[in-house]
Structure 1
Amino acid sequence: MHRQSLISLTLAAAMGFAGQAAADFSPADHLITVITPPPSNAFYKAEADAARAKATELGYRVKTLDHQDDPDVQLRLIQTALGEGSSAIILDNAGSDASVAAVRRAKDANVPVFLIDREVNANGVATAQIVSNNSQCATSVAEFFAEQVGYQGNYVELLGRTSDTNAHVRSEGFHRVLDQIPTMTMVAQQSANWDQTQGYNVMQSILQGNPDIVGVLAGNDTMALGAAAALRNAGANDVIVVGIDGNPDVIRQIANDGTIKATGLQQATRMAEMAVEQTDAYLRSGTTQLPEKQSVDCVLVSKENVEDVLPGGFGMR
Structure 2
Amino acid sequence: MKKSLCVFMVVLMVVSGLFLAGCQKKEAAGPQKISIAFARSESNDTWLSYLHDAFAAEFASKPEYEIIWSDGQNDVTRQQDNVNAAIAQGVKAIVVVPVDTSAAAPMIRAAQEAKIPIIFVNRNPFVGSTPPAGVYYCGSDSVVAGRQQMEYLGEQMGGSGEIAILMGQLNQEAAQDRTRGVKQIITEKYPNIKVVGEQTGNWMRNEGVNVTENWLTAYPNLKAIASNNDEMAMGALVAIASTGRTGILVGGTDGNPDAVQAVKDGKMACSVLQNAKGQGAGAADFAIRALKGEKLDPVKWVPYELITPKNVNDYL
User: Which category of TM-score, normalised to the shorter sequence, fits these structures?
Assistant: 0.7 to 0.9
Asked whether the equivalents of residues 167 and 200 of structure 2 are also in contact (C-alpha less than 8 Å), the reply is yes
Q: Does 1:32 align with 2:39?
A: no
The aligned residue for residue 261 of structure 2 is 252
1:296 alignment counterpart: 302
Higher mean C-alpha deviation, range 174-183 or range 43-52: 174-183
Consecutive unaligned residues of structure 2, counting only runs of 5 or more, are: 1-29
Q: Is 2:73 the counterpart of 1:68?
A: yes
Residue of structure 1 equivalent to 2:163: 155
| TM-score where L is the length of structure 2 | 0.84
SS in 1 for 2:132: coil
Residue 93 in 1 paired to residue 102 in 2?
no
Task: For 1:80 and 1:38, locate their aligned partners in 2 and report how far apart those are by CA, in whole Å.
Answer: 17
Q: Deviations over 1:59-99 (max 9, x none)?
A: 31112222122111101111121122211111111111112
Partner of 2:198 in structure 1? 189
| Matches for 1:269-288 after TM superposition, within 5 Å | 269-284=277-292, 286-287=293-294
CA contact 1:132–1:297 (8 Å) conserved in 2: yes
Residue in structure 2 matched with residue 77 of structure 1 by the alignment: 82
Identity %: 24
Contact kept, 8 Å, 2:290 with 2:296, in 1: the verdict is no
Using the alignment, how far apart are the partners of 2:308 and 2:44 within structure 1? 25
- Name the counterpart of 1:171: 179
Q: TM-score, with normalisation over the residues of structure 1?
A: 0.84
Q: Any conservation in 1 of the 2:282–2:300 contact (CA below 8 Å)?
A: no
Unaligned residue ranges in structure 1 (runs of 5+): 1-25, 312-317
Task: Look up the match of 1:56.
Answer: 60
Structure 2 residue corresponding to 1:128, chosen from 121, 130, 136: 136
- CA distance in 2 between partners of 1:95 and 1:236 (Å): 36
Matched letter for residue 45 of structure 2: N
Amino acid corresponding to residue 85 of structure 2 in structure 1: T
What secondary structure sits across from 1:154 in the alignment? strand
Match of 1:208 among 209, 217, 229: 217
Q: Which has the larger radius of gyration?
A: 2
**RMSD value, Cα:** 1.8
SS at match of 2:59: helix
Q: CA deviation at 1:38?
A: 2.6
Shift in alpha-carbon separation, 1:168–1:27, aligned structure 2, 3 A:
farther
Partner of 1:198: 207
Separation in structure 1 between the aligned mates of residue 54 and residue 107 of structure 2, nearest angstrom: 23
Tell me how far apart the structure 2 counterparts of residues 39 and 47 of structure 1 sit (CA, whole Å).
11
- Out of 242, 245, 250, which is 1:241 matched to? 250
Distance 1:74 1:235 in 2: 43
Moved more, 31-40 or 81-90: 31-40
Deviates more, 1:199-208 or 1:26-35: 26-35
Instruction: Spell out, residue by residue over 1:17-63, the C-alpha distance to the aligned partner (whole angstroms, 9 max, x if none).
Output: xxxxxxxxx99620112122333221110111111110232331112
Check the 8 A contact 1:100/1:125 in 2, yes or no.
Answer: no
1:78–1:306 Cα change, 3 Å: same
The count of corresponding residues between Structure 1 and Structure 2 is 282
